[in-house]
Amino acid sequence: MKNILFYLLLTLFLIFSCSEKEKTVKEKKKNEIIILIQPFKDVKQESVKLVEEGIKKLYPNVKVLDAIDFPDNTYYKERNRYRADSIIKFLSSQTKEGFVTIGLTSKDISASRGNIKDFGIMGLGYTPGKACVASKFRLNKENSDEQFFKIAIHELGHTQGLAHCPEKKCFMRNAEGKNPTDEETDFCRKCKTFLINKNWKFNSI
Ligand SMILES: [Zn+2]
Ligand SMILES: [Zn+2]
């Protein structure tokens, strides 16, 4: 009798722990966002492809959308630039729950910074946020696609909740108005650990 009771309890325990495990797997899947790449019509397809491949190595759930025009309200005529904050606002409004959108462009983009009303930038993303944007315009011509990926992954890092990082080699380094991307090699250990909790994949930490 004692034995029967023991096995009964054991079975119940196993069933319970299995369903708990299933629940955490399901929970994880539910938290796994999809990254949408939204190219604007000016950007070359091959540049989009290279950014896509780069992101996919670290986060496989990526989908590229058909290229679109900039909404009229994002254009800043005086400087022939597009306002990054307006672009993000637009992209966020198109982004459903469980998705994050990154806009890619080769046009110049800008945002207000301190007292400067219109400051040219390489990318913008809020921490955290539903959308961000990266521009090729200010990047070095020789390796612009490699730098483009680094800007994109930096802005996506912001959307995931990562702030700027003091590590000089880390993708989350603060550009401070310059372009230090050539010195960046990877996310640092601390930033990787943060992203792994958001289901990002890294071969090594
Ligand atoms: Zn940043
Ligand atoms: Zn870092």
CA quadruple 121, 126, 127, 133: dihedral positive or negative?
Answer: negative
Residue 28: its pLDDT value, please?
58
Q: Comparing C-alpha atoms, which of 54, 58, 98, 92 is closest to residue 191?
A: 58
**What is the CA(174)–ligand 1 centre distance, in A?**
6
**What is the CA(157)–ligand 1 centre distance, in A?**
8
With a CB cutoff of 8 Å and minimum separation 6, the contacts of 105 are 39, 40, 42, 43, 70, 82, 87, 133, 134, 135, 136, 137
**What is the CA(59)–ligand 1 centre distance, in A?**
19
**What is the CA(73)–ligand 1 centre distance, in A?**
24
Q: Comparing C-alpha atoms, which of 121, 204, 184, 192 is closest to residue 162?
A: 192
Between vectors from CA 25 to CA 159 and to CA 153, what angle results, nearest 5°? 20
Which ligand has an atom closest to residue 176 CA?
1
The one-letter amino acid at 29 = K
Residue 15: its pLDDT value, please?
62
Residue 4: its pLDDT value, please?
67
| Tens-binned pLDDT, residue by residue, of the chain (205 aa) | 667 666 666 665 666 665 666 666 666 566 689 999 999 999 999 999 999 999 999 999 999 999 999 999 999 999 999 999 999 999 999 999 999 999 999 999 999 999 999 999 999 999 999 999 999 999 999 999 999 999 999 999 999 999 999 999 999 999 998 999 999 999 999 999 999 999 898 877 7
Q: Check if the beta carbon of residue 90 is closer than 8 Å to that of residue 75.
A: no
**What is the CA(125)–ligand 1 centre distance, in A?**
7
Question: What is the pTM (predicted TM-score) of this model?
Answer: 0.86
Q: Report phi then psi at 20, rounded to 5.
A: -60, -45
**What is the CA(149)–ligand 2 centre distance, in A?**
16
Residue 202: its pLDDT value, please?
86
Residue with tokens 């011509």: 141
Q: Check if the beta carbon of residue 160 is closer than 8 Å to that of residue 128.
A: yes
Residue 29: its pLDDT value, please?
62
**What is the CA(25)–ligand 1 centre distance, in A?**
32
Q: Check if the beta carbon of residue 175 is closer than 8 Å to that of residue 122.
A: yes
What element of type H or E holds 28? helix 2-31
